[in-house]
A and B are shown apart, each in its own frame.
Chain A
C-alpha cells in the first residue's frame, strides 16, 4: 500500500503563545495509521496545549496540521475537527454529568446522524430508525469496556466511579467515529489493576482500526502500549523514539530531574 507511507497526521512548525508564554514552539510530529504514540514530559511542558490546538479549541499561533485527506485543519472550529475524524478525552474529565451513561455516548453520535427537527417531532420512521441504530451503536461502544459500563447505562454519568468516568469519556469519543483518538492522561487516578485493564482496552481499541496518541505520566502504561514515544519540554519536542531510547536520552533525564523523580520505570 502506498497510502501507508503517508502519515495520518502531519504537524509542522506548530506553535502556541499565551501572551508572552510560549506553550508550544515549532512542534513537528508525524503519526502513522495504526500507531499508539505516547507523549511524555514534565508538568506544564505543553502536552495538553498540543491536544487543545490539534482539536481546534485554541487557534495555533503558527504552523499547520494536515490530517488524512484534509490538507489543513489548523483553522477549523472544534466540531469540524471532530467531524474530520479526530476525537479526544480531557485531562480533567468533562462528561455530561446529568445525562445518563448511554446518553453521553449518544451525544457523541450527534454529528454522525442527520434527522431534522420535523422528522423527529413527527416521529417519522426514518428518524426513529436512525435513533434506534444510534442507541444500539452506543451500547456496542459501552461494550468495549466489557461489563464496566453496560450495566450502568441508565445511571447519571456523575454517579460513576472515577475509573468508569474515564472509560465513559473514551466511549463517548469513540462515538464520534474517529480515525485518530487523543487520550489526555487516561490512567490518571487509576489504581494499578485498573491501569492494566486500561492498557488492554487501549490496545483493543487500536485493533479496531484506530490510531491513538496518548499523554501519560504513568511510565508502565507508556512502556506497555506505545510503539513510539515523544518527549516534550517547555513547549518543545525534545526527542522521539522507542520507550527505551527516549527514557535514556540525556535531555529527557535532565528535563525530568527536579521536575519528577519517577522516570525510572
Chain B
C-alpha cells in the first residue's frame, strides 16, 4: 500500500470504527460487530503463526479457551477470586503465551501436515480437559462451565453497555494490528517469513529457527489469551462448547480467506466469516449451505485470498528490459 494513501486511509478507518456505535441502530447488530472485532483479534494471532511463520496450527482455539478459563478462574465466584480486570487479562495473556511455548516446543521438528495433526490433538485434549475437570475436584465446572464472571472494570468504570464492550474489544484489536505490523517489519518478522519461505535457507542465513518458531507460538497464543479474557468478561460465562474444533477451523478460514499474512485481509476475513452466517440467517435451513458455497467460489476464483500478500504473478520486469536493451 502506498504510504501516501495510507496516511489518509488509516485515520479514516479509525474514525469510522469509532463512529460505529453512533450509527448502528440495534444491540443485535452491535453484538455482531463486536464479535467481528473479537475474532479479528484471534485471527491476527493465528496469522502470526500461520501467515507470518508458515506453521499450520489446527488447535488454535485451545489458547482462546485457556485464556477464557484463566480469566474466569481469577475473576468470578468460582474460586472466590476477583482480580482487577487488567491484572486478570494480563494473567490470561501470560499463561497462554507460556502454553504456546509448551505446545510449540515438542512440535518444532514437525512441518505441514504433521504439525497440523499434533496441534489438532492439542485442541481436542484441551476441550476434553475443560469438559471433564469437574471431578474429582471441581476445577473447570465441567460441561456447565463457569458463570457470573466479573465484567471488565478499570479506572473506576464498570462496563455494562454494548458500546462499552465494543470500544474495549476494538482497542485490543487495534493493539493487535499495531503489534502485528511492528513484528512483521522487524528482525523477528523477517526471521518468521524466512522460515515460512524456506526453512533450511533461513537456518543457513544464521536464523535460530527454534527460537523464532517459539516466539511465533508464544505471541500468537497470547493474542488468543487476550481474546479469551475478553470473551469471558463480555459473555460473563464460559463453557467448553465455546472452544470446539470448528472454532479453530473458523479462525483459520478467516486467515486464509482474507489472504494469508495480510493484516487487512485477516480482518476482512473475520468480518466475512462472522457476518455472512448472520446475513443468511433468514434462509435458516440453507444458511450453512450458502455459506459453504460462497467460500468455495471464493477459493476457486481467488485461491490466494482476498487481500493476499502474494498478489498476481508478475510477468516481464520493465526495468529488466531497459537494462537488457542498454547492453
Q: Which residues of A contact B (CB under 8 A)?
A: 55-57, 77-79, 82-83, 87-88, 90, 94-99, 103, 106-113, 115, 117, 120-121, 123, 127, 130-131, 134, 147-148, 151-152, 155-156, 158-161, 164, 172-173, 175-176, 193
Contact = CB atoms under 8 A, between A and B. Distances in A.
A53 B8 CA distance: 52
B320 A131 contact: no
Size range of the interface on B?
A: 35 or more
B319 A110 contact: no
A246 B324 CA distance: 35
Contacts of A173: 205
Contact of B186 (A82, A88, A131, A172): A131
B229 interface: no
B26 interface: no
Given A107-B207, A121-B179, A156 B197 contact: no
Interface in B275-327: 309-311, 313-314, 317, 319-320, 323, 327
A167 to B, nearest CB: 12
Contact of A55 (B186, B191, B204): B204
A96 B202 CA distance: 8
B161 interface: no
Contacts of B219: 117
A236 B183 CA distance: 47
A121 B182 contact: yes
30 contacts: A55-B204, A78-B204, A79-B203, A94-B201, A95-B201, A98-B197, A98-B309, A99-B197, A103-B190, A103-B193, A106-B187, A107-B202, A108-B206, A110-B188, A110-B191, A110-B194, A110-B206, A110-B207, A111-B207, A117-B215, A117-B219, A120-B183, A120-B187, A120-B188, A121-B179, A131-B186, A147-B323, A156-B310, A158-B314, A176-B205
A82 B126 CA distance: 40
B187 A82 contact: no
B200 interface: yes
A148 B320 CA distance: 9
Query: What are the 4 closest A-B residue pairs judged by CB atoms, nearest first?
Result: A111-B206, A82-B206, A96-B197, A159-B314
B205 A107 contact: yes
B197 A82 contact: no
Nearest to A175: B205
B182 A82 contact: no
B204 A120 contact: no
Interface of B: 179, 182-183, 185-188, 190-191, 193-194, 196-198, 200-209, 215, 218-219, 261, 309-311, 313-314, 317, 319-320, 323, 327
Which secondary structure dominates where chain B touches chain A?
helix
Nearest to B185: A131
Contacts of B314: 155-156, 158-159
Given A120-B188, A164-B320, A96 B198 contact: yes
Contacts of B207: 79, 107, 110-111
A57 B320 contact: no
A170 to B, nearest CB: 12
A77 to B, nearest CB: 7
Given A107-B205, A110-B207, A156-B314, A151 B186 contact: no
A147 B322 CA distance: 12
Interface centre among A103, A151, A172, A176 (most CB of B within 10 A): A103
Contact of A160 (B185, B196, B317): B317
Nearest to A176: B206
A2 B211 CA distance: 39
A77 B109 CA distance: 14
A127 to B, nearest CB: 7
A77 B187 CA distance: 20
B319 to A, nearest CB: 6
Interface centre among B183, B203, B261 (most CB of A within 10 A): B203
